[in-house]
Amino acid sequence: MIRRPLLLASALLAAIGLSGCKEEPAAPQATATPAVEHFQWKMVTAWPKNYPGLGTAAERLAERVSAMSNGRLTIKVYAGGELVPPLEVFDAVSRGTAELGHGAAYYWKGKVPAAQFFTAVPFGLSTSEMNAWLSKGGGQALWDEAYAPYGVKPMVVGNTGMQMGGWYNKEINSLDDLKGLKIRMPGLGGEVLSKLGATTVNLPGGEVFTALQTNAIDATDWVSPYNDLAFGLHKAAKFYYYPGWQEPQAVLELLINQKALDSLPADLQAILTEAARAASQDMLDDYVYHNAMALDELKQQGTLLKRFPDEVLTAMQRESEVVLGELAAQSELNGRIWASMQAFQAQVSQMHQLSEKELYNWR
């Protein structure tokens, strides 16, 4: 008779033997981690380095894109003149010298006449109206069409809001005072003043103070108190005129080389788009806040604020309609852009007559 302890020992040994015969589970195979592609882009700008509002907005955009993409898309920002001259930003992006550009569309009017519609139109859309026309009213598609032949994709990347009428060393009391006036004013506003007898020039921002101080020009528009104070224009001119009839708002644009954009994965394209939208709001907030602070400072330093006479504003508005009509007649595309913008302005003005305008009048 086999004793119980021996039976238990035999069973245990059998179990150990059977377990040794089982297949060992296969070790998990190592899977290769796909390489993360990184993109290093250049952005050329039309602004002095770290210039308040304009130059800093470009830097902030680059920082935002790098953070949102976790470093997969990095952008090196070049001030105007560092890589290309300020007024050659569009060409640099079109050629692929830089993947991105930061500037104002009317600077390229010699190459793309339609571009002038996409910065500012005299006596035209306000900031909120312009943004709505571009994003909802068909303006962006027209802007894309204008730049497509050059391999460039435009985006809104900011807005300065309504600007001032400019700095003058000559008082404007009548239309006669505009005749022979040498003024720096780009875009459509400059063409309007030319029709009224002024001589207009297009200078990059970095040259404006010296030209005004040395009497190479009699007057200049630039932006608004925030930027004008930074340039010290109050030290070079006596009179600060308003309203900014020539630029009721001013779009800043992000120029993107189309081939470079197409090379980005979809998520990085989305990041660039949303970063530009965020930069637009950030810039507008910047200007609303700092313009108020800077205007106080300019007044404390003795700046003489002057309003254009009604006679002068009426003539400017009349000639603006002529200039815009001539621009619209230059091409079928120009005609469609101007018709779209006019129709949108007529539509939204009805609402704003009852809302913003009434509130501003009362407060």
Q: What is the mean pLDDT of residues 63-81?
A: 97
The answer, yes or no, to whether residue 107 has pLDDT greater than 80, is yes
Write out pLDDT tens, residues 137-167: 999 999 999 999 999 999 999 999 999 999 9
3-state helix/strand/coil string of 5-56:
HHHHHHHHHHHHHHHHHCCCCCCCCCCCCCCCCCEEEEEEECCCCCCCCCHH
Distance CA 216, CA 326 (A): 30
Q: Give residue 187's pLDDT band: very low, low, confident or very high (50, 70, 90).
A: confident
Is position 86 within any domain? Answer: yes
Q: Report the chain's mean pLDDT, rounded to a whole number.
A: 91
How many domains does one find in the chain?
1
Q: What is the mean pLDDT of residues 179-203?
A: 94
- 162's tokens: 């309504």
Is position 111 within any domain? Answer: yes
Distance CA 217, CA 181 (A): 8
Is position 56 within any domain? Answer: yes
Distance CA 193, CA 186 (A): 10
Write out pLDDT tens, residues 2-59: 444 433 344 433 444 444 444 455 555 656 566 789 999 999 999 998 899 999 999 9
Distance CA 131, CA 156 (A): 8
Is position 81 within any domain? Answer: yes
Write out pLDDT tens, residues 215-247: 999 999 999 999 999 999 999 999 999 999 999
* Closest alpha carbon to 125 in 360, 347, 359: 347
Write out pLDDT tens, residues 295-332: 999 999 999 999 999 999 999 999 999 999 999 999 99
Is position 152 within any domain? Answer: yes
The DSSP element (H or E) to which 295 belongs, if any, is: helix 266-300
Is position 300 within any domain? Answer: no
Is position 138 within any domain? Answer: yes
pLDDT, residue 202, reads 83
Is position 334 within any domain? Answer: no
Q: Find the CATH number of the domain harbouring 44.
A: 3.40.190.170
Q: What is the pTM of this model?
A: 0.87
Dihedral, 27, 29, 30, 34 alpha carbons, nearest 10: -160
Q: Which domain holds residue 51?
A: 39-160+249-291
